Amino acid sequence: MRASSREDTSATILDAAYRCLAREGYAAVSMRQIAREAGVALSQLHYYFQSKERLFIEVMRRTTEQHLQEVVSWLGQLSADQRLNGLVRMVRAKLREDPGWFRLLFDFSSLAFHDAEVRRQLRRLFEEVADEAASRFAGLWQAPSAGTLRSRLAGLSPQTLGRIFVATLYGLALQVLMETDETGKTEQPVWFEELLVAVGTS
């Protein structure tokens, strides 16, 4: 099999696995379901990824890399004084357009307590997103609103701000996801929209 053909088949399987895992959750999905979603034989799935655990890790690696690229691209388009609410807008857009990503993220979080490789990948995601945010926050002190922001945050370092802000956003996303999944509604809760207005993102 040519290298390009192998890569295409692998990408097709990873795309299908992502859809299944985001939709159903790790515990509920079987390799047979993923093979059917991908339109490949079950034997091909095992040939490329050997086990469900290995496939899950590869989905996580790929998803992590894509999300990091999204964060860099999103923040790179914004001026210094737009970057804080820019991160909030990014999470809101992700919740609207691809809520399955967050379901997968929280599946990762659960498995991370029992699997060292999942834990490494999840740490990488959180650390690199926080570091990217921190590098962008460093310019906030020169922004027009820096004085007010700095007094409110009591001089916290950009690195600390990055970790606090990312942890807060992903925690809020979990709450939004729980509420929208339970009610079956697609719109985000009123309290979340109020928060968006308060930080100037609407």
CATH code of residue 13: 1.10.10.60
Q: Are residues 137 and 189 in the same domain?
A: yes
Q: Are residues 139 and 77 in the same domain?
A: yes
Q: Are residues 79 and 147 in the same domain?
A: yes
Residues 77-108 have pLDDT tens digits of 777 667 667 777 777 888 888 888 888 888 88
- 55 contact partners, CB below 8 Å, separation of at least 6: 13, 14, 17, 31, 34, 45, 49
CB-CB contact of 51 with 130 (8 Å):
no
3-class SS at 29? coil
Q: Are residues 118 and 30 in the same domain?
A: no
CB-CB contact of 13 with 99 (8 Å):
no
Q: Are residues 41 and 63 in the same domain?
A: no
CB-CB contact of 107 with 26 (8 Å):
yes
Model confidence at 141, in pLDDT bands (50, 70, 90)?
Answer: very low
Query: How many structural domains are present in the chain?
Result: 2
What is the average per-residue pLDDT within 172-197?
Answer: 69
pTM above 0.75, yes or no: no
pLDDT beyond 60 at 183: no
Q: Are residues 90 and 189 in the same domain?
A: yes
CATH code at position 114: 1.10.357
What is the average per-residue pLDDT within 127-152?
Answer: 63
Q: Are residues 42 and 92 in the same domain?
A: no
State how far the Cα of 71 lies from the Cα of 128, in Å rounded to an integer. Answer: 10
**Residue 202's pLDDT is what?**
45
Q: Are residues 45 and 134 in the same domain?
A: no
State how far the Cα of 30 lies from the Cα of 178, in Å rounded to an integer. Answer: 24
- Location of structure tokens 């050997």: 50
What is the average per-residue pLDDT within 162-166?
Answer: 77
What is the average per-residue pLDDT within 177-187?
Answer: 64
**Residue 17's pLDDT is what?**
94
Range of the structural domain that residue 3 is part of: 1-50
Dihedral over Cα of 79, 84, 86, 90: its sign: positive
